[in-house]
Amino acid sequence: MSAQALVVVPTHNERGNLPALVTGLMKHDGVRLMVVDDQSPDGTGALADALAVEHPGRIQVMHRTGPRGLGRSYIEGMTWAIREPVDLICQMDADLSHDPEQLPRLIAASAQADVVIGSRYIPGGAIVNWPKRRQLLSRFANIYIRGVTRLDARDCTSGFRCWRREAIAGLPFERFTSDGYCFLVEMLFVASRRGCRIAEVPITFVERRVGESKISKSVLFESAIIPWRLIANPETARKAPPRAQ
Ligand SMILES: Nc1nc2c(ncn2[C@@H]2O[C@H](COP(=O)(O)OP(=O)(O)O)[C@@H](O)[C@H]2O)c(=O)[nH]1
Ligand SMILES: [Mg+2]
């Protein structure tokens, strides 16, 4: 792989998954990892520090303090990442639902796009071990989000993505309004309004075998509201001004 890619991974209680994730990612030349840990009580942060020592110069760990949250963690991780000398910034979950083996396909597709989504909902995509209820919820969420926001992508809620660094650097995080999982939708929506080219490659999503999901009722509530807030908010809905030459 010739492009330099930095993978930002938020963690909360992922001790049982992190070593396999690190092994899978470190197999790929040119790939670095930033773990953004939210004071995991199970010691994920300390484990990440130990893994960073085993892979000098390739793994960084951010130990967050203050209120925990997926969106806040991504904003801090991405804000750090855009200052690094990398071509690509990727994002993925720590729980092995996103297979590190599939990362090179996202990276390859980024040659023709500003953001590549690892997609469960295009031909070739799949979900393994999700209960029917969770599958229906995710399907419905995507239909709803696409319907309200007019986003083209089939999988707007996937957390497995590869961005060109400049595309992330152009996002006005200080104006973002969502935290939890909706942060992923907001990122995609704002990027699309700013003219980013969005592509999708199929992935197989495998439900975690170790640890617990952190999805909650309040997250589901936020998901119902956010698409409307996005299209109503003149700041996030605004098209980017033309770039100065
Ligand atoms: N830093 C941080 N990571 C989180 C938080 N909530 C979830 N995560 C991470 O986000 C990823 C997806 O979370 P998960 O609970 O598996 O959600 P699900 O796949 O939608 O059920 C995993 O890597 C989690 O450890 C949080 O509040 N802070
Ligand atoms: Mg998960």
Encode pLDDT of 187-225 as tens digits: 999 999 999 999 999 999 999 999 998 877 777 778 888
Residues contacting residue 110 through CB under 8 Å, at least 6 positions apart:
3, 88, 116, 162, 163, 164, 199
- The token duo for 201 is 């490659």
Instruction: Give me the pLDDT at residue 244, please.
Output: 43
Instruction: Give me the pLDDT at residue 180, please.
Output: 74
Average pLDDT over residues 14-42: 98
% residues pLDDT > 90 (the chain): 84
Instruction: Give me the pLDDT at residue 238, please.
Output: 57
Residue ranges of the domains in the chain? 5-237
Distance CA 115, CA 119 (A): 12
- H/E segment holding residue 229: helix 217-232
- H/E segment holding residue 183: helix 182-193
Which of 93, 127, 219 gets mutated to test ligand 1 (max ligand atoms within 8 A of its CB)? 93
Which pLDDT band holds residue 177 (cuts at 50, 70, 90)? Answer: confident
Per the CB < 8 A criterion, the answer to whether 61 and 35 are in contact is yes
Closest protein CA for atom 27 of ligand 1: 69
Which pLDDT band holds residue 63 (cuts at 50, 70, 90)? Answer: very high
Residue 242 clears pLDDT 50, i.e. is over it: no
CA distances from 227 to 23, 47, 136, 236 (A): 37, 37, 18, 11
Higher per-residue pLDDT: 52 or 245: 52
CA distances from 69 to 33, 75, 120, 188, 214 (A): 19, 10, 24, 18, 10
> Measuring from each residue's beta carbon to the nearest atom of ligand 1, which residues come in under 6 Å?
10-12, 14, 36, 38, 68-70, 73, 93-95, 97, 208, 213-215
CA distances from 91 to 116, 159, 240 (A): 11, 6, 23
- Report the C-alpha dihedral over residues 138, 140, 142, 146, rounded to 10 degrees: -170
Query: Which CATH code fits 5-237?
Result: 3.90.550.10
% residues pLDDT > 70 (the chain): 94
Which of 11, 40, 72 gets mutated to test ligand 1 (max ligand atoms within 8 A of its CB)? 11
CA distances from 61 to 27, 52, 80, 116, 129 (A): 19, 8, 11, 25, 30
Give distance in angstroms: CA of 24 to centre of ligand 2: 17
At CA 154, angle to CA 151 and CA 160, rounded to 5? 100
Higher per-residue pLDDT: 217 or 18: 18
Instruction: Give me the pLDDT at residue 235, please.
Output: 63
Give distance in angstroms: CA of 240 to centre of ligand 2: 33
Average pLDDT over residues 54-70: 96
**For residue 150, with 0-12 CB atoms within 10 Å meaning exposed, 13-18 middle and 19 or more buried, which class applies?**
exposed
Residues in the chain: 245
Of 97-106, 161-170, 171-180, 218-227, the poorest mean pLDDT is in 218-227
Residue 129 gets the label, from left (phi > 0), alpha (psi -120 to 50) or beta, of left
Instruction: Give me the pLDDT at residue 84, please.
Output: 97
Closest protein CA for atom 9 of ligand 1: 11
Residue 95 clears pLDDT 90, i.e. is over it: yes
Question: Per the confidence metrics, is the pTM higher than 0.85?
Answer: yes
Instruction: Give me the pLDDT at residue 51, please.
Output: 98
Per the CB < 8 A criterion, the answer to whether 130 and 207 are in contact is yes
Distance CA 215, CA 196 (A): 28
Judged by DSSP in three states, 199 sits in strand
